[in-house]
Amino acid sequence: MARYLVTGAAGFIASRVCEFLLDEGHAVVGVDDMNDAYDTRLKDYRLARLKSRPGFVFHRMDVARLDSLRALFTENAGGGAPPFDAVLNLAARAGVRQSIENPWGYFETNVTGALNLLELCKDFGVTKFVLASTSSAYGADTPAPFREDAPSDRPLSPYAASKKAAEALCHAYHHLYGIDVSVLRYFTVYGPAGRPDMSLFRFTQWIAEGKPVLVYGDGTQSRDFTYVDDVVRGTIAALKPLSYEIINLGSDEPVVLNDAIARIEALTEKKAHVRYEESNPADVKATWANIEKAERLLGWRPQVGFSDGLVHLVEWYAANREWAKEIRTD
């Protein structure tokens, strides 16, 4: 049995990482500041599922606050052993458009938070660090499918820039102190209890409730939608020793937004009332992951196709509709 620190534990991906690790018999210390960047009812829902599990300990804590984190590391250290077998830093301010409105909050969590955790890993002898990064790092002109060695030095949003900065910090701490780092670039993760600012949650709610379906652009843009449990499996696989690696976790099957809307219409048996708006300059036209590196290094491939994953999302929404219909999606 290992003991892992998972940051952002009430978040969409991190909560499922905690569940998978607990299923494997590991101990998990979860931290989350429970901020209101999106509707906290989703965070409360995910956290309630975790708190009932043996082996899980939760601390309400902001990764940008070094003193609180240091106290947590000290509390879990003992007998000369490191406090954790690995740190999985999944805490993040996520989303392109919100980062334009509040870039300071994004850098505080995504950059200062990563720096704090890396510094504590160095101080306390934690030798494995996993960073949740993003496909947004690739920018606008990356040849598809996106390879990890493609240029990523021209980010289009403060969110992408903050994640690129965190990746660079990880490399510096790997070089200076030998910390083994896995940087995982996630591609448009979706599934039950997902983030409400993401397109598939929004489309599902808006179509189910007869609300206008807002699409930025003409709907022909495509996204490499990746089911959450597949991303979780890849994240846990990346706990193995890798030195320093950046690895894409995507579906390798981009889906056009208009086609995604049509599939949700079929599953909900309701018509979408689509309203097209001007595209945002921070959005890319398409994302598409090259996942050869994940296959080679992690033995990982996605197992849940888009059609099946969308069924799981729509079924979850129907089962939780009484409160999910009221979730803010802005």
Q: Tell me the torsion sign for CA atoms 278, 280, 281, 286.
A: negative
Name the active-site residue from 159, 190, 227, 317: 159
- Which amino acid makes up residue 196? P
CB atoms < 10 A from the CB of 57, how many? 15
Question: How is residue 126 written in tokens?
Answer: 């934690």
CA dihedral 296, 302, 303, 307 (to 10 degrees): -150
Please confirm, yes or no, whether 45 is among the known catalytic residues. Answer: no
Query: Of 92, 96, 74, 76, which Cα lies nearest the Cα of 7?
Result: 92
Please tell me whether the peptide bond between 281 and the residue prior to it is cis, using omega within 30 degrees of 0: no
Helix, strand or coil, per DSSP, at residue 81: strand
Q: Determine contact, residues 66/94, Cβ cutoff 8 Å.
A: no
Number of H helices, E strands in the chain: 13, 13
Q: Determine contact, residues 187/250, Cβ cutoff 8 Å.
A: yes
Looking at the annotation, which residues are catalytic? 159
